[in-house]
Amino acid sequence: MNPPAATSSLEPLATVMDAQPFMVLTGAGISTPSGIPDYRDSEGVRRGRQPMMYQEFLNQGEARRRYWARAMLGWPRIRQARPNAAHLALAQLQAAGRIAGVITQNVDTLHDQAGSPGVIELHGSLHWVRCLDCGQRSERDAIQQQLETQNPYLAGVDAVQAPDGDTLLDPAFEARFQVPHCPHCQGTRLKPDVVFFGENVAQATAAQAWSAVHEAGGLLVVGSSLMAYSAFRLCRAVVEQGKPLLAINFGKTRADALLDLKLEQPCDQVLPWLAERLKG
């Protein structure tokens, strides 16, 4: 592990978090060292094309074909990604009772793989697929096998990786793509078990996150611009309760005016340092 560039600048973070366990809210920035692209630049502006919208996916067969063609090529990168030092440090902090738990906007399950128990996944998990017709869930790997069998012409096609298992695929490859069928009912309206843009976070999940933040001593944001309201509202709730709101994030966040402390340093260096600093 490389030490953070300016260790002295991190002492205020350790001092505040030493008082009582915080909840930690993570975004795409914690997974970029694991090779998964993030959504926004340092100004909080979205990179690349507009994401698939929920109503578009729900109502248009062509949209589902476009999504699954790109996802077929993007899934291997997500499946092969492994937790980095930041994920592992949070698991260590939680095991030591130094943080209360983890809420994540990410859909890559890297916190689970790192050993963090009870992760609250605000936006679901790409490792599962849900049928919009019968409601049954299937493992993403099983759907991937079906996709590769039905669409051998895409084998070896090189596509640029995009956030959340998406890719930048030439539309010419999409026209004859065969969408997957539900293994339970044979329906063709399969959707990754994640929250799309334009879709609401499940009520039970939102309530669980709200309760966790309410009971914690404060909130540490890691690698998130907080542009999604589901995350920003948790920050606002912490501030309204008079609790500390901290962030480790490069660039602008939606909550900059609310933050008590912000560090623009690599989270995969800062969090291992913090875990070591708060040990024992």
- With b for 16 or more beta-carbon neighbours within 10 A and e for fewer, the 53-76 pattern comes to eeebbeeeeeebbbbbbbbbbbbe
214 given a catalytic annotation: no
Q: Is 185 annotated as a binding residue?
A: yes
Residue closest to 232 by CA, chosen among 212, 208, 259: 259
Q: Is 182 annotated as a binding residue?
A: yes
The one catalytic residue among 111, 123, 127, 184: 123
- 102, 111 contact by CB (below 8 A): yes
Q: Is 22 annotated as a binding residue?
A: no
Q: Is 112 annotated as a binding residue?
A: no
Q: Is 235 annotated as a binding residue?
A: no
- With b for 16 or more beta-carbon neighbours within 10 A and e for fewer, the 232-260 pattern comes to bbbbebbbeeebbbbbbbbebbbbeebbe
Q: Is 60 annotated as a binding residue?
A: no
Q: Is 251 annotated as a binding residue?
A: yes
Phi, psi of 128 (to 5 degrees): -130, 150
Q: Is 59 annotated as a binding residue?
A: no
Q: Are strands 22-26 and 99-104 parallel, antiparallel or unpaired?
A: parallel
Q: Is 225 annotated as a binding residue?
A: yes
Q: Is 8 annotated as a binding residue?
A: no
- 49, 37 contact by CB (below 8 A): no
Residue closest to 17 by CA, chosen among 264, 180, 248, 266: 248
Binding-site entries = 105-108, 131, 134, 182, 185, 223-225, 249-251, 267
Residues tagged active-site: 123
Binding-site entries for Zn(2+) = 131, 134, 182, 185
